[in-house]
Amino acid sequence: MNRKDRYTVAVLGATGAVGRAMLSTLERRNFPVGELRLLASPKSAGQMLEFRGQKIAVRAVEESDFEEVDIALFSAGASASQMYAPLAVTKGCVVVDNSSAFRMDPQVPLVVPEVNPRAVLDHKGIIANPNCSTIQLVVALNPLAQFGIEHVSVTTYQAVSGMGQKGIDALQRETANFGKGTTLFPVADGEVHYPMAFNVLPQCDVFLENGYTKEEMKLVHESRKILGQPKLHVSPTAVRVPVVYGHSEVVSVRFAERVSAQQVRTRLQEALGVVVVDDPLHALYPHPKMAEGTGDTYVGRIRQDLVDNQTVWMFVVADNLLKGAAWNAVQIAELLVDQAGN
C-alpha cells in the first residue's frame, strides 16, 4: 500500500452493530479518511449514516465498489467475506476482516496490535480481526508471557451484542415483555433456547462433537496463533449473560514457576492497552459498564490461587464491539498506514 495523506476506505456491513462502531471509531481516532464507501446487502441499501457531520448513503455491495479502495473493513459475516475479500484484494485493496472466515488460515495474519503488531507485515491482502473474547484475553495474557504461561483457564460472560443487532433486539424484546409469556433467545444461527432476560445461558454459538462450542474453540485456537504458542493449554467455557455491551472473563493463569499476584499486577500496569482497576476493598474492579465505549482492556480482582502458588486469577473486561471488534480493526488499519510505502 502506498503512503498517502488520505486513504479511500470501504466498510462492508456498515449498517450492522460493528459496522456502525467502525464508523464512529474511524472518527474518534481521526483516521486519515479521504473517501468513505459504505457497503451492505441490498436490503440495507439507501440507509443514510453520518460520518464527520456528513450523511453518506449506504449502497448494495458490488465488485466494482472496491476499485481504488486502499483499506476495506469487513463486518458482514463469513460468507460475505469469503465472496468479496478475494475480489477486493485483486483490486489492490487490503481487507481487515472481522469474520471467522480467514482467522485460522496460515497465510492470513491474525492481529491484535498490542500483542503481535509486526504480523501485519506478512499479509497477502487479508488481515483477520480475532474473535471478540479472544482479543481481550490475549491483551491481558501477552504482558505475562515473560513469566512462562503453562495453562490458561477462562470462563467468559458474554454480552448479547456479540451476536450482533439481533441479540440486542431479542434481549430488549424479552425484557420489555418479561412476565407476559415465555420467549426464546437466538443462541446460535437457526437455534433458539430458553429466555435470556434475567437468565444465564452456558452456550455461545453451536456445540461441537467434543462438547465445546465454536466460541470456546475459537478461544483455544486463536489465542495460540496470536501468542505464537501452538501448544498452549487453554480450558474455555463461554457463557451468555443479559448484558448489552461488554464481555467479562474470569481467567486463571498457571505459570512455569511461582509468580505473585503483585508481580502480575505490576506487569499489567505497565502494559499497552491495559487499565488495571484493582482495589476491591474500596469496590474498585472492572465491570462491563466501566469498559463500555472505550478501547481499553480492564483487569482487576488479581489474586493468588488459594492452593497453587504458580496460579494467579484475574477478571478481564472489554467493550466487545470496540476493542473486541471495531476498535481493533481500526488499530490494524493504522498499522497498515504506519508501514505504508516501507
Residues in contact with 139: Cβ distance below 8 Å, sequence separation at least 6, in sequence order: 112, 114, 115, 271, 273, 274, 297, 318, 323
In the residue annotation, 247 being an active-site residue is answered as yes
Question: Are both 160 and 87 inside the same structural domain?
Answer: no
Residue 341, pLDDT above cutoff 80: no
Q: Each residue of 192-216: pLDDT tens digit?
A: 999 999 999 999 999 999 999 999 9
* For the chain, percent of residues with pLDDT exceeding 90: 93
How many angstroms from the chain centroid is the CA of residue 204?
A: 14
The pLDDT of residue 189: 81
3-state secondary structure of 128: strand
**Is residue 1, in this structure, part of any structural domain at all?**
no
**Is residue 105, in this structure, part of any structural domain at all?**
yes
**What is the residue type of 312?**
V
Q: Could you give the CA distance from residue 256 to residue 310 in angstroms, rounded to a whole number?
A: 7
The pLDDT of residue 180: 83
Query: Which pTM does this prediction carry?
Result: 0.96
Question: Are both 53 and 186 inside the same structural domain?
Answer: no
- pLDDT, mean over the chain: 96
Task: Check: CB of residue 19 under 8 Å from CB of residue 13.
Answer: yes
Q: Each residue of 167-182: pLDDT tens digit?
A: 999 999 999 988 887 7
The pLDDT of residue 318: 98
Question: Are both 185 and 310 inside the same structural domain?
Answer: yes
- Which of 4-8, 39-43, 190-194, 275-279 shows the lowest per-residue confidence on average (mean pLDDT)? 190-194
| Surface-to-core class of residue 125, CB atoms within 10 Å of its CB (0-12 exposed, 13-18 middle, 19+ buried) | middle
- For 242-248, what is the mean pLDDT? 98
Question: Are both 215 and 177 inside the same structural domain?
Answer: yes
Question: Are both 78 and 187 inside the same structural domain?
Answer: no
The pLDDT of residue 165: 87
Question: Are both 62 and 152 inside the same structural domain?
Answer: no
Angle at 274 between CA 252 and CA 30, to 5 degrees: 145
Domains held by the chain: number: 2
- For 321-340, what is the mean pLDDT? 96
Task: Check: CB of residue 16 under 8 Å from CB of residue 76.
Answer: yes
**Is residue 2, in this structure, part of any structural domain at all?**
no
Q: Each residue of 7-43: pLDDT tens digit?
A: 999 999 999 999 999 999 999 999 999 999 999 999 9
Which residue in 93, 123, 132, 204 is the catalytic one? Answer: 132
Question: Are both 211 and 79 inside the same structural domain?
Answer: no
Which residue in 193, 247, 282, 287 is the catalytic one? Answer: 247
C-alpha cell at 138: 490475549
Q: Could you give the CA distance from residue 21 to residue 321 in angstroms, rounded to a whole number?
A: 7
**Is residue 93, in this structure, part of any structural domain at all?**
yes
Give me the sign of the Cα torsion angle 249, 252, 256, 259: positive
Question: Are both 222 and 296 inside the same structural domain?
Answer: yes
**Is residue 103, in this structure, part of any structural domain at all?**
yes
Residue 2, pLDDT above cutoff 90: no
In the residue annotation, 132 being an active-site residue is answered as yes
Residue 342, pLDDT above cutoff 70: no
CATH of the domain at 22: 3.40.50.720
Q: Which domain holds residue 21?
A: 7-130+325-338
